[in-house]
Amino acid sequence: MTSEFDAIVIGGGHNGLVNGAYLARAGLRTLILERRELVGGAAITEELRPGFKFTTFSYALSLLRPDIVHELDLVRHGFMPLLMPSSFCPMDNGDSLVMGQDRGENIREIARHSQRDADAYDQYRHDVEMVVRAVKPLFDKAPPNLTDLSPEGLAEMADLAAHLRGVDTGVLHNLVRLLTGSAADFLDDYFESEILKGWLSSSGIIGTKVGPMSQGSGLVLLFHSMGEHDGHFGSWAFHKGGNGGFTQVLARAAEAFGAEIKLRAEVERVITANGRATGVALADGTELAAKVVVSAADPRRTFTTFVDPRELPADLVDNLRRYRYQGTSSKVNFALDGLPAYPSLGDRADMFRGFTNVAPSMEYLERAFDEAKYGWYSTKPYIDAAIQSTIDPDMAPPGQHVMSCFVHYTPYELKGGDWAKEREHMADNVQNTLESHFPGFSDLVLQREIVTPLDIEQVAGLPEGNIFHGEFLAPQMYFFRPAPGWNQYRTPIEGYYQCGSGTHPGGCVSGGPGKLASQRILADLTR
Amino acid sequence: MVHRSPFHDRVAAANETSLWSHWSGHLVVEKYQMAEKWEYVAIRNAAGAFDSSPLYKYRVAGPDAERFLGGVLTRDIRTCAPGQAHYTIWCDERGHVNEDGVVFRHSADEFLLTAAEPNLAYFRDLIGHERVEITEVTDEIGTLAIQGPRSHAILSRLAPAVSALGYFEHTPAKLGASAVTISRTGYTGDLGYEVLCDAPDAGAVWDAIFEAGAPHGLIPFGQIALLMARIEAGLLLIHVDFDASRLAENDEHRSTPVELGLSWMLKGVDDDSRPFIGRRAIRRELADGTSRWKMMGLMVDPFDYDAKYTAAGMAPPKDHIPVHEDMMVYDGDARRVGYATSFMYSPVLQRHIALARIRPELAVPGARVNLEFTINHRYVQVAADVVRNPMFAPARKTAAMNGAES
């Protein structure tokens, strides 16, 4: 075995690329291994039809940490987030809620649905933003390790306590309400309008098997508010060329710092000797040595596929067995021959420049969840759609469009059915729902790509198709992500680290886990 | 009553905000849509159209036109061949900049000069025995700038000749039945073109361009988006980044070409066959090193910026709307070493940026200075890097477009 690398990163998804870029930037000879023929993991763009670019899985630049943009010099490598200036919520009665960039206009639009809510909207945004700002320093820092009673470990706990003591009591209370309660309870305090609550509560269910009325949906709502685009909290952007465009930028940055990226290099196992990682073995038999091995994969693969779980502490293995994936999200992506029409808005098209949120009420979402609770996919699904070619003309030929549809709920495990048989019918539910809001929609469809949780698992490698490498449930966040005692990117095997979305702060294209893991690795190396 | 541009009917129909302002006596649009940032994104990501008809335009023609302009303009007009254009300035005899503009050369003895301010009397008074005639043609010409990465794809379908245009070249062309001039110029620092047409043809030209451009994401953009793009592009704005020397109150409000970062225009300044107004003073300035400033770019340190605001209990604002007011620049010892004249948050650079005059010894890329902000009603200094202008210069701006698909 030759040892030409200081560090090997398993997985060229966004966190693996971020981690590898930071390690290379610190001077480590770094190799990033990607199983597939392209980097990006679940953040890729594929031209499935000439001129039509599909964001197969992840579809927006949601929670990317702004520091990473600067520290990795991403602008130089083509980083280009594009404003999504509107949010469009169609309603069952043909009316709609269209939110834009002008505060006064937004207030008037909400007032059409509820005068009271129009006034409450600013207060809601302010209150959530204050919570986001209080949480941000914790989000962007490795959490303390509850089992670490060393002076350093206790100091980390003391820092956390000091930070929380500095937070305004009202803000702290809102934080706890969001972390422990339901999105519905939180939103009911402010609003009465069904369409407004349908829209706002949608971010409380994304990627997670909860309904807006479930305890825990508040946490998911807060998590999705942690995004930051050009100084606006909770604001999402679209990267030029889709998220595949973004991961290509990351790859160029990593290579510019000296990292090497090897494609079609599937890792079979991490090689260990005397409780220490010494390298990796590829599926083709190649063995590569390195002082540090980092897994950007999810906890299941990190701890039970790449290494022998019998080498790990029993409590960790137990906790990982309990760690919940249960993916419930699908994608149905369309190539369209033109823009859909929404009858009550006439020939307006500006509302398509952001997300189209098909969730006419919280109850609609909760009923969609009910079917998933009992093991089936929603008859009337929640759809978070984006006609990305209206934002970036490079996504489709002139005059034609691509439409990405994120779909809830579609449980990985179907009770008495399987996805091979149900996939087309699930996509039909999506298309029919769109047709009901946009008459003539189906006539525009040139092509349809269906991505079920099973496809997410088989193609992107995410177990049970969970887009976050494990659910956003309080027992598997912060101190406990992915397991108590192992929330600081280390593993029980010395020299073997984790940097995927199964570590703090979690999923979404944030880069946070990749960056924070690199800090842990570099600190350990200088010990 | 305020004058309407030749494109006014189309502009008015497209203006969703009813926000108008006045520019050179013309009614112009601040922003067409509620989100001016969306218009800016179009310039950088798709294509945008800007009605720049209010610019003053002068036809300069006659057997001695070149000799006349050679004596007035700071940049050597002899190097501007027919079919080319120059961004140029004109100075006074003390070597202070009066104004800037673009001069298009149509033939050996015919030029079109654009200017932000009225200059007819100024230029006419400078005619000595040269056989040259200067005519104002501002109202006769409509100018529509098509800017952004898709601008070539849009215009080349209508007028294939644009594909051969290099940066700052122009060509006659036909858009439908209208005879136009298309130049590869603009005020955005991106790939872009300007279409000059006879005023009566303006509506037809607009319609043809938008019919071809809409599928590419072409939208009209207003002044706010334009003024955002031009800061990134390092392009100066009169009354903001400099003042005309002939109308200035004192030397604090005057600048030399070197001080404005325009030394590159001075090629051949020692060549005696090129006597232009201000040359002697400029040569003296260069020889004696008396320049007070140099116009540079500033990029604010994002970590220091965020830290200063966060420490003050505020969310760090990232406002893309340009600020056209003086902001002081200090060195590490709190000595004033310059001042910024234009400031904004640049979405495409993801940084706060400024155009700033810096003392010559610190006007080197990589120098660290501090820019003064007001945070919580107190002056606070934030670290910034001195950088070269333009801060945003994509390869497509000057790339050959022959055979390019889009």
- Residues facing residue A46 across a β-bridge: A54
Note whether A393 contacts B315, CB cutoff 8 Å. no
Chain A residue at shortest CA distance from B150: A393
Comparing CA positions, the residue from A81, A76, A59, A93 lying closest to residue A21 is: A76
Assess contact for B188 and B147: CB atoms under 8 A: yes
Question: Which of the residues in chain A have pLDDT under 70?
Answer: 1-3
Residue with tokens 């260990």, as numbered in its chain = A272
Residues A224 and A132: their CA atoms lie apart, in Å, by: 10
Alpha-carbon dihedral angle through residues A198, A170, A137, A81, given to the nearest 10 degrees: 30
Nearest-neighbour CA in chain B from A4: distance (Å): 35
Q: Report DSSP letters for A381-397, one per residue.
A: -EEEEE-GGGT-GGGSS
Nearest-neighbour CA in chain B from A22: distance (Å): 17
- Residues facing residue B330 across a β-bridge: B336, B370
Note whether B302 contacts A66, CB cutoff 8 Å. yes
**Which of B155, B350, B391 has the highest number of chain A CBs within 10 A, making it the mutation to test binding with A?**
B350
Nearest-neighbour CA in chain A from B230: distance (Å): 18
A133: left (phi > 0), else alpha (psi -120 to 50), else beta? Answer: alpha
Q: Does A478 touch chain B (CB under 8 A)?
A: no
Q: Which residues contact A489 (CB under 8 A, 6 or more apart)?
A: A142, A497, A498, A499, A503, A513, A516, A517, A520, A521
Note whether A392 contacts B303, CB cutoff 8 Å. no
Residues B150 and B227: their CA atoms lie apart, in Å, by: 20
Residues B7 and B17: their CA atoms lie apart, in Å, by: 17
List phi, psi (to 5°) of A83.
-60, 135
Structure tokens at B225: 């988006």
Nearest-neighbour CA in chain A from B257: distance (Å): 30
Helix orientation angle between A115-139 and A169-180, rounded to the nearest 10 degrees: 90
Q: Does A82 touch chain B (CB under 8 A)?
A: yes
Note whether B34 contacts A102, CB cutoff 8 Å. yes
- Give the strand pairing for B336-346 and B170-175: unpaired
**Please, what sign has the CA dihedral across residues A303, A246, B349, A103?**
negative
Note whether B37 contacts A83, CB cutoff 8 Å. yes
Least CB–CB distance from A83: residue in B34, B38, B349: B38
The distance of Cα A413 from the centroid of its chain, to the nearest Å, equals: 21
Residues of B in contact with A390 (CB under 8 A): 217
Comparing CA positions, the residue from A13, A20, A19 lying closest to residue A39 is: A13
Within 10 Å of residue A521's Cβ, how many Cβ atoms? 24
List all residues of chain A from 117 to 156 with a beta carbon under 8 Å from chain B: 129, 133
Note whether A393 contacts B46, CB cutoff 8 Å. yes
Note whether A83 contacts B319, CB cutoff 8 Å. no
Least CB–CB distance from A392: residue in B34, B45, B320: B45
Residues B244 and B96: their CA atoms lie apart, in Å, by: 8
- Which amino acid makes up residue A223? F
Assess contact for B388 and B297: CB atoms under 8 A: yes
Residues of A in contact with B319 (CB under 8 A): 231
Q: Does A348 touch chain B (CB under 8 A)?
A: no
Comparing CA positions, the residue from A51, A42, A28, A90 lying closest to residue A380 is: A90
Assess contact for B156 and B171: CB atoms under 8 A: no
**Please, what sign has the CA dihedral across residues B365, B368, B373, B375?**
positive
Nearest-neighbour CA in chain B from A318: distance (Å): 41
Assess contact for A349 and A339: CB atoms under 8 A: yes
CA atoms within 13 A on the CB side of B262: 23
Residues of B in contact with A242 (CB under 8 A): none
Residues of B in contact with A75 (CB under 8 A): 348-351
Residues of B in contact with A70 (CB under 8 A): 302-303, 350-351
Assess contact for B80 and B86: CB atoms under 8 A: yes
Note whether B34 contacts A101, CB cutoff 8 Å. yes
Least CB–CB distance from B216: residue in A80, A240, A398: A398
Least CB–CB distance from B317: residue in A85, A129, A231: A231
Note whether A393 contacts B302, CB cutoff 8 Å. no
Q: Which residues of B100-113 are buried (b: 16+ CB within 10 A; e: fewer)?
A: bbbbbbbeebebbb
Mean pLDDT by runs of 10 across the 406 residues of chain B is 94 96 95 96 98 98 98 97 98 98 98 97 96 97 98 97 97 96 98 98 98 97 98 98 97 98 96 94 98 98 97 96 98 97 98 98 97 97 98 97 65
State the DSSP H helix or E strand holding residue A435, giving kind and residue range, or none if neither. Answer: helix A419-437
DSSP code of residue B27: E
Comparing CA positions, the residue from A526, A508, A516, A451 lying closest to residue A490 is: A516
Note whether B45 contacts A75, CB cutoff 8 Å. no
Residues of B in contact with A245 (CB under 8 A): none
Helix (H, G, I), strand (E, B) or coil at A250: helix
Residues of B in contact with A231 (CB under 8 A): 315-319, 345
Provide the strand spans (E) within B32-151: 47-51, 56-61, 85-91, 97-107, 110-115, 133-136, 141-147
Note whether B38 contacts A353, CB cutoff 8 Å. yes
- Give the strand pairing for A401-408 and A382-386: antiparallel
**Which of B34, B348, B405 has the highest number of chain A CBs within 10 A, making it the mutation to test binding with A?**
B34
Residues A34 and A1: their CA atoms lie apart, in Å, by: 20
Note whether B350 contacts A75, CB cutoff 8 Å. yes
Note whether B349 contacts A75, CB cutoff 8 Å. yes
Structure tokens at B55: 């610019």
Query: What pLDDT, on the 0 to 100 scale, is given for residue A3?
Result: 65
Note whether B303 contacts A80, CB cutoff 8 Å. no
Residues of B in contact with A127 (CB under 8 A): none
Note whether B317 contacts A79, CB cutoff 8 Å. no
How many CB contacts within 8 angstroms connect chain A with chain B? 67
Chain A residue at shortest CA distance from B300: A70
Residues A155 and A143: their CA atoms lie apart, in Å, by: 12
Residues of A in contact with B315 (CB under 8 A): 129, 133, 231, 233
Which residues of chain B have a Cβ shorter than 8 Å from any chain A Cβ?
33-35, 37-38, 41, 44-46, 150, 215-217, 302-303, 315-320, 345, 347-351
Residues B395 and A480: their CA atoms lie apart, in Å, by: 48
Q: Does A233 touch chain B (CB under 8 A)?
A: yes
Comparing CA positions, the residue from A454, A449, A450, A379 lying closest to residue A411 is: A454
Q: How many residues does chain A have?
A: 527
Chain B residue at shortest CA distance from A353: B38
Assess contact for B165 and B184: CB atoms under 8 A: yes
Residues B317 and B33: their CA atoms lie apart, in Å, by: 22
- Which amino acid makes up residue A131? V
Residues B313 and A35: their CA atoms lie apart, in Å, by: 45
Nearest-neighbour CA in chain A from B36: distance (Å): 9
DSSP code of residue A144: P
- Give the strand pairing for B178-183 and B170-175: antiparallel
Vertex A129 angle, CA A126 and A131, to 5°: 115
Q: Does A349 touch chain B (CB under 8 A)?
A: no
ipTM: 0.95
Render pLDDT for A461-483 as a digit per residue (tens, 0 to 9).
Answer: 999 999 999 999 999 999 999 99
Residues A411 and A418: their CA atoms lie apart, in Å, by: 10
Q: Does A231 touch chain B (CB under 8 A)?
A: yes
Residues B198 and B184: their CA atoms lie apart, in Å, by: 18
Residue with tokens 């990232």, as numbered in its chain = B318
Q: Does A101 touch chain B (CB under 8 A)?
A: yes
Residues of A in contact with B34 (CB under 8 A): 100-102, 105
Chain A residue at shortest CA distance from B304: A67
Q: Does A284 touch chain B (CB under 8 A)?
A: no
Query: What pLDDT, on the 0 to 100 scale, is given for residue B406?
Result: 47
Residues of B in contact with A79 (CB under 8 A): 350
Note whether A231 contacts B350, CB cutoff 8 Å. no
